């Protein structure tokens, strides 16, 4: 692997890797102008030492270095496990919160701090967390990943989790805008359709975004259709991304698409068409996952045709704080309480 970093602005694509180390083909992909970030999955992880080296290798390829992220929510969505604290599902904090709100928020804040502190030690920049969707027991995609059934509970608990992340030096990314909890289907495997009106969405799903927008560095879109509000999916909709999220809610951070290879995203044509549509609609960064050869072809096709807001991208970079809390104490506290 070359030791000379390529001087190149960060591009609008976030891609993944197939293994626990970089191949020549991976390096060629990550040095494409269209690439700006890497998302890691469980297949990329063996132990903290290995993943730290992988992150270091990724970051040595370019200047400024590529951003590196992971889904480390807790519960069933935690990519790094052995060597990391097994975070509980976020909904488990709601039971404590409902009885003792302040204690529930304190524990949730500690979980956010611990999650971020452990990841920052490996050199990662951020985790795609927290989930801001309203909890619906029937939702196969969200379920216990959400903090609470009530938007007020989400605001309190997710807000505390964000505070913990921030205090460790990690910015937060809320998902899935404008809401994935109102549908049963999982957009990985189908296109969920939510037939609620805008007023119904305003009464629940949009409340956390309005309340927490200024605390978030990033927001990820939902591949969910809202035909009684807008024809296009939020990922492909200037209405949702610019009119609602940017102008009405006032969000100034980075907008990520959810993975454009997911079944729920397929309605906008080829992967190239989906990517262009998402970026033109207002996404700052498009995720292309689980198909490295296709990602390589796409990166070459996109080239440098989309300029990216470098300040927004840089705002997602980790700024690790001095570790001023004993993580072993937090681990014991969470193990005994949740």
**pLDDT band per the 50, 70, 90 thresholds, residue 3:** low
138 domain-assigned: yes
Residue 1 counted as domain residue = no
**pLDDT for the residue 106:** 97
Per-residue pLDDT at 322:
64
**pLDDT bracket for residue 321 (50, 70, 90):** confident
Residue 185 domain-assigned (yes or no): yes
Q: Tell me whether residue 176 is one of the annotated catalytic residues.
A: no
For residue 276, report the phi and psi dihedrals to the nearest 5 degrees.
Answer: -60, -40
Whether the Cβ atoms of residue 253 and residue 315 lie closer than 8 Å to each other: yes
Which residue segment(s) compose the domain that 230 sits in? Answer: 6-337
Tell me what pLDDT residue 223 has.
94
The average pLDDT across 37-64 equals 98
SS3 210: helix
Q: What pLDDT is attached to residue 139?
A: 84
Going by pLDDT thresholds of 50, 70 and 90, the confidence category of residue 320 is confident
Least confident of 49-63, 135-149, 159-173: 135-149
Choosing from 133, 144, 258, 259, the catalytic residue is 258
pLDDT higher than 70, residue 2 = no
**208-259: pLDDT as tens digits:** 999 999 999 999 999 999 999 999 999 999 999 999 999 999 999 999 999 9
User: Does 199 fall in a domain?
Assistant: yes
Question: The CATH number of the domain where 186 resides is what?
Answer: 3.20.20.300
Tokens 């990166």 found at: 299
Question: At which residue do the structure tokens 């097994």 appear?
Answer: 86
Q: What was the pLDDT predicted at 299?
A: 96
The conformation of residue 249, written as its DSSP 8-state character, comes to: S
Within-domain flag for 271: yes
Could you tell me where the DSSP H helices lie in 149-249? Answer: 151-168, 198-202, 207-212, 238
The pTM assigned to this predicted structure is 0.95
- Whether 258 is catalytic: yes
Token pair for 307:
């300029």
Q: What is the mean pLDDT of residues 121-145?
A: 92
Give the active site residue among 57, 71, 188, 266: 188
Q: How far apart are CA 248 and CA 251, in angstroms?
A: 8
User: How confident is the model at residue 324, as a pLDDT?
Assistant: 74
Span 57-67, pLDDT tens digits? 999 999 999 99
Q: What is the pLDDT of residue 55?
A: 98
Tens of pLDDT, residues 149-165: 999 999 999 999 999 99
**pLDDT 10s digits, 68-105:** 999 999 999 999 999 999 999 999 999 999 999 999 99
Number of domains into which the chain is organized: 1
């Amino acid at each position: 692997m070359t030791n000379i970093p390529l001087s190149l602005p960060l591009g609008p694509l976030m891609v993944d890797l197939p293994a626990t180390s970089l191949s020549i083909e991976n390096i060629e992909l990550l040095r494409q102008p269209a690439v700006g970030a890497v998302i890691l999955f469980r297949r990329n992880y063996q132990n903290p030492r290995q993943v730290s080296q992988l992150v270091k290798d990724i970051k040595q390829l370019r200047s400024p270095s590529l951003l590196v992220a992971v889904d480390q929510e807790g519960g069933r969505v935690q990519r790094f496990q052995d060597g990391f604290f097994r975070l509980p599902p976020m909904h488990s904090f709601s039971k404590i919160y409902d009885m003792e709100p302040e204690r529930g928020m304190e524990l949730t804040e500690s979980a956010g701090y611990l999650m971020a502190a452990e990841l920052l030690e490996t050199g990662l920049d951020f985790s795609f967390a927290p989930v801001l969707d309203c909890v619906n027991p029937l939702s196969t995609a969200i379920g216990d990943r959400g903090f609470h059934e009530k938007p007020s509970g989400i605001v309190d608990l997710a807000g505390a989790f964000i505070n913990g992340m921030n205090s460790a030096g990690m910015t937060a990314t809320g998902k899935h805008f404008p809401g994935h909890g109102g549908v049963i289907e999982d957009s990985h495997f189908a296109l969920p359709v939510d037939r609620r009106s805008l007023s119904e969405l305003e009464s629940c799903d949009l409340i956390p975004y309005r309340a927490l927008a200024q605390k978030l560095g990033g927001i990820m879109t939902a591949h969910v259709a809202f035909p009684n509000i807008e024809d296009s999916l939020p990922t492909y909709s200037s209405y949702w991304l610019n009119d609602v999220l940017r102008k009405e809610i006032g969000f100034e951070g980075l907008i990520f698409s959810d993975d454009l290879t997911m079944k729920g995203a397929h309605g906008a044509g080829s992967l190239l068409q989906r990517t262009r549509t998402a970026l033109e609609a207002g996404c700052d960064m498009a995720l292309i996952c689980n198909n490295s050869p296709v990602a390589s072809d796409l990166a070459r096709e996109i080239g440098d045709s989309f300029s990216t807001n470098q300040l927004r991208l840089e705002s997602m970079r980790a700024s690790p704080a001095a570790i001023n809390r004993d993580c072993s104490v937090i681990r014991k506290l969470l193990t005994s309480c949740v």
